[in-house]
Structure 1
Amino acid sequence: MSEWIHCQLSDVCDFFIGGTPSRNQPEFWATPPNGSPWLAISDLKSKFLWGSKEHITELGALSSNVKIIPSDSIVMSFKLSIGRAGITKKAMYCNEAIAFFKPFQSELDSRWLYHAIPRAAEKVVTDSAVKGATLNKKKIAEIPLHLPPLNEQVGLATVLDTLDTQIQKTEALIAKLEKVKEGLLHDLLTRGIDENGRLRPSPAQAPELYKESPLGLIPREWGIGSLGDLSTSSVIGPFGSDLVASDYRSAGVPVVFVRDVVSKMFTWKSDVYVDNQKAASLSAHDAVGGDVLLTKMGLPPCIACTYPSEFPEGIITADIVRLRPDKSRVLPDWISNYANSEHVAAQVRGITSGVTRPKVTLGDVRSLKVAVPSLEDQHAILLRVSEASRRVILARASLSKLLSEKSGLMNDLLTGRVRVTPLLDQAQATTPE
């Protein structure tokens, strides 16, 4: 590592700051495809950037004295979300919260800079900068770089770019699987399956297989029930002073918040507990395996999940409704999947229409109607849903592994703890075709 050098960004790179034309001057702004794309921090959501839907004219660019950013340039936010970086894929402008860089070609590889600059920028964030969430030109110029020789920069960027490609392909696969699952779920919850285990023909194909209902057309064999009628008990969390922050402990009986439900599957993020004595006093608000939890508030409310049987008995908070399904009539996963469907979402919109902050009551939740096939059909449908979910889970696990691998490699490669040369053959061998 003796050939690595410590320098500042300004030693190996020119940088420029963007600007925003006046919003009061309509001639400064254009409707695509006219003008050139304009980039804001909110557009820095992925590695490759195409600009926002907002375009500015050449006159608008001149008014704010900004330079055009060439394609394949590295940009970085230095206000609000410091260090968020991307690579432009077409010529564009940017606002005054974004800097773009022009490396000295004999010293700095731009692809290496993309990977290195987010972490490097953190080193010049002072306490005052954190409060204001901003860097100035002087601080940007002082961003420290631990710079390998140019050939190693290129090799390091190749390894990390390869991982980025795998990550992007996995993210695209997840999005595709999620879309397939959503479509399958809609069809299964609307049409069900026939005696041969296949998706029942649609109403357009076989109208005789369906009947009218408050939920629209449903298979003739299915019934309709309200969530209240399909549950042996239904409660909301404790009110007011019955459960406050001073009751929380670092161990004991888990406390379940809205944030643990909003992903449509139970994902306990809260890490909050109450002691056994407090839990006993709130036993009317307990949650056990097989219960269905729904959110009372949110955009939208009534997001549902099934409380997992392997998770310890918990206590719900005030903004959650807990249903205990009558399992002789309906399966918990059927309720939670159907509650997350458009059939129930439409009912919720009807209840909350015109309200600034949508919210439902326990009575509202009890009144929501769901279709009810036979238990045998529910089992068969949920098996299909479970298989689609399994594919998504496996893809997400693969993504998590790739992200972890990239984080570890960045720690090693950007510090020089691991040299990039032995990894190049491996990276090239695993590049997706």
Structure 2
Amino acid sequence: MSEWQQRSLASLGNYENGFAFNELHWSEHGLPIIRIAQITGSQGIVDCFPGVLPESYRIDEGDLIFSWSGTLAVVRWSGGPAWLNQHLFKVVPAAGIDRSFLFHVLQASVAEMGKRTHGSTMKHIKRGELREFSVEIPGNECEQRKIAQVLDTLDTAIRETEALIDKLKAVKQGLLHNLLTRGIDPNGQLRPPQSETPQLYKESPLGWIPREWSYGSLGTWLMGKPKNGYSPQEAGEWTGVQMLGLGCLTKEGFFGAQLKLAPAGDRGLEKALLNDGDLLISRANTRDLVGVVGVYRDIGTPCTYPDLMMRLMPSEETSAEFLQLVLQSSKVRRQIQGSASGTSESMVKISSAIVTGLKVAIPKPDEQSVILCRSKALDAQLQSELQELEVLRAIKAGLMDDLLTGRVRVTPLLKSLQQTAAQTGA
């Protein structure tokens, strides 16, 4: 570690704040104005500026941008020439500091910075405080580049996996739309569209559906009314029973990740005890998330569902898994969101009557099984890629900790990786 040195973040580069644009500067022409929303990807380009400003406000491909107010983040800009808005720093590396290496150092420092941010509604890091954040870095710029090379390779793998996941999600949406509007014919193929084979379809309140399908209110395929859960006060210690949080139901289905401890001896919990395979639907949430569904899977301990969820009991003509697909479809989601009511968009509700009154189209059980098999095959591929993404992120986190502290030296690591690649190729 003798050739490594302790440096403040402030000394590693020049942090140049963006320009304070306002509505007088906005235009449909000129270079784009880049705000926090554009670097985080939450919004596309909104405004441009056609004028001329000092070069310090201009960003180009590969420039480092540090969001220091509102959302702490570090990105490498990849959107071409643009103007930088206030509350964003353009970070220009100091002499002897590799730009890609600096990107990874700043990215690793963001989490620590978050613990020391100021302001209750607008978190921010003062420029002067960057002098207080110290890191150990190699003084040799060549070693910096090699460290960045390893981490950049992992970043590329992560981006490619994320792109594949996004593609699979889009494919899944398209496939589910076709499966739930055209279905599978006796030969195991998607039925041709109604425009090509009108004799295979009939009209319904949901549009054209296959002639063999039935349509009506969801209650037709339920045994009894939906039942609300139970929400007692959370316990302060382990009692052997857990309770689902509302976040366990997502647009993708059930995830047992937001669990609470149930109180001991509360008899009200008995009616809300779950069985593996139970179908749940949220009855209150934001308009975007109200009515999301999931098939509960055993978490290893007794578990109950809360008052803000309802349990649905499918009839013998269908199944919880198939009804989950139906309730996730865009046509049914629009019905749910349109029927939800409340005084605040942050918490709208649906009733048991709304749920049982949803208009659905249901194929015969044999066709339901085939549709589920197609859906599960794509889900398995998607889950495999999601797991791969988690592995890559974990590897990167470990390597950042090792390489950016000098705990693991990069030259032996690169040699090891090259030998492994050669052996694999052989």
TM-score with structure 2 setting the length: 0.88
CA distance in structure 1 between the partners assigned to 2:90 and 2:367 by the alignment: 58
CA contact (8 A) 1:35 1:55 kept: yes
Give 1:189 shift: 1.0
| SS of equivalent to 1:169 | helix
Q: Deviation per CA, 1:205-235: give whole Å up to 9, x if none.
A: 2111111122221111111243323222443
Give 1:14's aligned residue: 14
| SS of equivalent to 1:129 | coil
Give 1:142 shift: 4.2
Which of 45, 48, 66 pairs up with 2:40?
45
Structure 2 residue 186 is matched with structure 1 residue 184: no
CA distance in structure 1 between the partners assigned to 2:204 and 2:44 by the alignment: 47
Which amino acid counterpart does residue 353 of structure 2 have in structure 1?
Answer: G
Give 1:155's aligned residue: 146
Which amino acid counterpart does residue 57 of structure 1 have in structure 2?
Answer: P
Give 1:377's aligned residue: 367
Q: Matches of residues 312-331 of structure 1 in structure 2 within 5 Å?
A: 312-326=301-315, 328-331=316-319
- Indicate how the Cα distance of structure 1 residues 5 and 184 shifts in structure 2: closer, same or farther if over 3 A, else same: same
Give 2:4's aligned residue: 4
CA distance in structure 2 between the partners assigned to 1:171 and 1:125 by the alignment: 25
- Indicate how the Cα distance of structure 1 residues 163 and 404 shifts in structure 2: closer, same or farther if over 3 A, else same: same
Give 1:117 shift: 0.8
CA distance in structure 2 between the partners assigned to 1:74 and 1:101 by the alignment: 5
CA distance in structure 1 between the partners assigned to 2:70 and 2:200 by the alignment: 57
Which amino acid counterpart does residue 264 of structure 1 have in structure 2?
Answer: E
- Indicate how the Cα distance of structure 1 residues 424 and 37 shifts in structure 2: closer, same or farther if over 3 A, else same: farther
Which of 331, 350, 369 pairs up with 1:360?
350
Give 1:350 shift: 3.9
| SS of equivalent to 1:99 | strand
Give 2:65's aligned residue: 75
Give 1:333 shift: 0.7
Give 2:27's aligned residue: 30
- Indicate how the Cα distance of structure 1 residues 414 and 175 shifts in structure 2: closer, same or farther if over 3 A, else same: same
CA contact (8 A) 1:158 1:424 kept: no
- Indicate how the Cα distance of structure 1 residues 230 and 313 shifts in structure 2: closer, same or farther if over 3 A, else same: farther
Structure 2 residue 274 is matched with structure 1 residue 287: yes
Q: Which structure 1 segments of 5+ residues have no match? A: none
Which of 320, 327, 339 pairs up with 1:351?
339
CA distance in structure 1 between the partners assigned to 2:144 and 2:260 by the alignment: 45
- Indicate how the Cα distance of structure 1 residues 188 and 124 shifts in structure 2: closer, same or farther if over 3 A, else same: closer
Which of 268, 287, 311 pairs up with 2:256?
268
CA distance in structure 2 between the partners assigned to 1:223 and 1:35 by the alignment: 56
| SS of equivalent to 1:52 | coil
CA contact (8 A) 1:257 1:320 kept: no
Give 1:254's aligned residue: 242
Q: Matches of residues 16-415 of structure 1 in structure 2 within 5 Å?
A: 16-23=16-23, 25=24, 28-31=25-28, 34-45=29-40, 52-58=45-51, 61=53, 67-105=57-95, 107-121=96-110, 127=116, 129=118, 131=120, 133-148=123-138, 149-238=140-229, 243-247=231-235, 249-275=237-263, 277-278=265-266, 280-297=267-284, 298-300=286-288, 301-308=290-297, 312-326=301-315, 328-352=316-340, 357=345, 358-415=348-405
- Indicate how the Cα distance of structure 1 residues 270 and 5 shifts in structure 2: closer, same or farther if over 3 A, else same: same
Give 1:141 shift: 4.2
Q: Which structure 2 segments of 5+ residues have no match? A: none
CA distance in structure 1 between the partners assigned to 2:336 and 2:258 by the alignment: 26
Give 1:127 shift: 4.7
CA contact (8 A) 2:165 2:386 kept: yes
Which amino acid counterpart does residue 51 of structure 2 have in structure 1?
Answer: E
Q: Deviation per CA, 1:243-281: give whole Å up to 9, x if none.
A: 343456534322123210023321012221214532x42
Is the deviation greater in 334-343 or in 307-316?
Answer: 307-316
- Indicate how the Cα distance of structure 1 residues 233 and 154 shifts in structure 2: closer, same or farther if over 3 A, else same: same
Which amino acid counterpart does residue 407 of structure 2 have in structure 1?
Answer: R
Give 1:104 shift: 2.8
Aligned-residue identity in percent? 29
- Indicate how the Cα distance of structure 1 residues 376 and 290 shifts in structure 2: closer, same or farther if over 3 A, else same: same
Give 1:176 shift: 0.8
- Indicate how the Cα distance of structure 1 residues 12 and 129 shifts in structure 2: closer, same or farther if over 3 A, else same: same
CA distance in structure 2 between the partners assigned to 1:50 and 1:103 by the alignment: 28
Is the deviation greater in 282-291 or in 175-184?
Answer: 282-291
User: Paired residues, what number?
Assistant: 415
CA contact (8 A) 1:304 1:340 kept: yes
Q: Deviation per CA, 1:391-413: give whole Å up to 9, x if none.
A: 10001111111111111110100
CA distance in structure 1 between the partners assigned to 2:273 and 2:114 by the alignment: 45
CA distance in structure 2 between the partners assigned to 1:112 and 1:284 by the alignment: 57
